[in-house]
Structures are given as structure tokens and as C-alpha cells.
Amino acid sequence: MDNPPNPQQKEDKALLALITATLHVREDEVGLEEIKRYLEPNIDLTPEDEAAINRFGSDPFASAPPNAAEVTARAQENRVMALNRKNTDSRFSAKTTEELDRRRKELLEKLRKRQKST
């Protein structure tokens, strides 16, 4: 049977637990409340982050630098597939297309109303 941890081991475990709590990121959805502070004007990025963003360029559809992570390769593969897909819109049934149109009109109307009220 394992011996109970001595006081020093207990303290170390508590510290390690706090480190995990500090670095751990939950997989759940991000809420608006959580991102609010990042949406404020003049976000300060470190020079390293700024440089990384610049390396990737200002177009989300442009190629990433060759040394970028393999994740990017997957995303690019998706993009190439999307761009090469023939006649994309016709993949959907008439009903789906109709629903997409209806939704778009609804959002346009919402936007028009918002702009009128401001």
C-alpha cells in the first residue's frame, strides 16, 4: 500500500495542481462574455505574436509559411477541396437552397432595421 504523502509532497502537489489550473484550457464553447475584453480597441500583441501574424499574412486564404504547423496543412487541404468543388451551391436540395435564401433575406432585413434605427 502507498504511504500517505509527507507535508512537503502535499505542498508540491498543491502547487502542481495550481499550475494545471492556470494552464489548462477547457474544450467548451467560448462565450461572448469571455471574449468581450479582447474586442476592445487597441489590442496589444507581443512583438513575437505580431511577427507571427505578419508571417502568415493578411489574407486568410493565402498560403501559410512553410514552417507552419501541420494543422495548417489540414486547413489548406479543406480549402483546396472547397475551391475545386464544382458547382457548390447545387449540392443542396431545392429546399435547402430556399431555406438559405430565406435566412439571408431575414438577416438582411434585420441589418436594414438596425441601420435605420441608428
Partner 1 sequence: MLGHWYWYRLEQTEREEAFTRDGAVALWLNADMITNTLSPADEDLDLQARIGLLGDRQEKQDAVRTLFARFQAPVMKFLADLFSDLDPDDRASCVHDAFQTIYQMAEDSTLDTEKPLAPLVFTIAKRRAIDIRRKNSRRIKTDGNIAGEIGDLLRDTETGRDWHHARVLDKAEEVQEEFRKFVASLKGQQRRVASIMADFLPDTLSDQEIAQEIQTRSGQHMTTMEVKGAKNALMKKFREILKLKLR
Residues 82-101, interacting with partner 1 (CB under 8 A): 82, 85, 88-89, 92, 96, 100-101
Half-sphere exposure (CA, 13 Å, Cβ side) for 46?
3
Interface residue with partner 1, options 1, 3, 4, 28 (CB under 8 A): 28
Query: What is the secondary structure of 63-88 as a DSSP string?
Result: PPPTTS-HHHHHHHHHHHHHHH-TTG
Interface residue with partner 1, options 67, 90, 94, 95 (CB under 8 A): 67
CB atoms within 10 A of CB 68: 15
Q: With binding defined as CB under 8 A, does residue 25 bind partner 1?
A: yes
Nearest distance, CB of residue 94 and partner 1, angstroms: 13
